[in-house]
């Protein structure tokens, strides 16, 4: 390995260490250090050493040092950082939302997040995370509780959503119900009716 490549690898690693947990390092973000080819080579070398983890094509994350050894950064922090970096809206899937709200005990086998960007898979060490493109209405109100309610009910479907709706109404305060009322018009027909009953019932 040339001294120049080694120096560039050290600089890339130094930059990665300045970032908060889960914030991806991209080749584009390192072009101030050298040419694209040189940066790609440096990132590839760091990945082979295990110093960086390749999360997706062109995206790398720094493992977190803990007293138990190295671990991948948290899924939540990585997904949040990706959303910020790409200017996308990303939120936990309907199944994850339903589980968090106590509407199902079913735990997804792998984390699935809904995104306004393109669908893709991330690998955080041995943990696979799916980013699934969905229409914007499914991302309404983001990660806030009313947004979770929208995605959970959409995932449950028309037959089960009605029973869950009365439970959800009891857990939302007046401000949260007002938030739902504000976005009802953006929802598909059956879901709009269910959410309207939660908001105004």
Provide the residue ranges of all domains of the chain, joining segments of one domain with +.
3-70, 75-200
User: What is the model's pTM?
Assistant: 0.84
pLDDT at 118 over 60: yes
What does the pLDDT look like over 177-186, one tens digit per residue?
999 999 999 9
CA-nearest of 74, 32, 36 to 55 is 74
Q: What local confidence, expressed as pLDDT, does residue 163 receive?
A: 85
Residue showing tokens 């914030």: 23
The model's confidence at residue 191, banded by pLDDT at 50, 70 and 90, is: very high
From 1.10.579.10, 1.25.10.10, 1.10.10.10, 3.90.76.10, which CATH number describes the 3-70 domain? 1.10.10.10
pLDDT at 120 over 70: yes
Q: What local confidence, expressed as pLDDT, does residue 2 receive?
A: 64
The model's confidence at residue 129, banded by pLDDT at 50, 70 and 90, is: very high
Would you call 119 exposed, middle or buried from its count of C-beta atoms within 10 A (0-12, 13-18, 19+)?
exposed
């Amino acid at each position: 390995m040339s001294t120049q490549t080694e120096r560039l690898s050290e600089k890339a690693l130094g930059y990665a260490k300045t970032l908060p947990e889960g914030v991806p390092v991209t080749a584009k973000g390192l072009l101030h250090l050298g040419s694209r080819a040189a940066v790609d080579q440096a990132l590839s070398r760091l990945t082979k050493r295990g110093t960086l983890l390749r999360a997706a094509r062109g995206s790398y994350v720094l493992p977190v040092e803990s007293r138990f050894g190295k671990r991948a950064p948290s899924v939540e922090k990585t997904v949040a950082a990706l959303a910020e970096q790409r200017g996308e809206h990303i939120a936990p899937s309907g199944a994850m939302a339903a589980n968090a709200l106590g509407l199902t005990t079913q735990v997804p086998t792998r984390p699935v997040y809904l995104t306004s960007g393109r669908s893709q898979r991330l690998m955080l060490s041995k943990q696979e995370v799916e980013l699934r493109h969905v229409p914007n209405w499914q991302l309404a109100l983001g990660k806030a509780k009313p947004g979770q309610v929208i995605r959970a009910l959409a995932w449950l479907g028309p037959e089960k959503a009605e029973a869950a709706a009365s439970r959800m109404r009891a857990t939302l305060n007046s401000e949260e119900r007002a938030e739902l009322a504000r976005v009802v018009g953006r929802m598909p027909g059956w879901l709009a009716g269910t959410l309207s009953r939660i908001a105004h019932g």
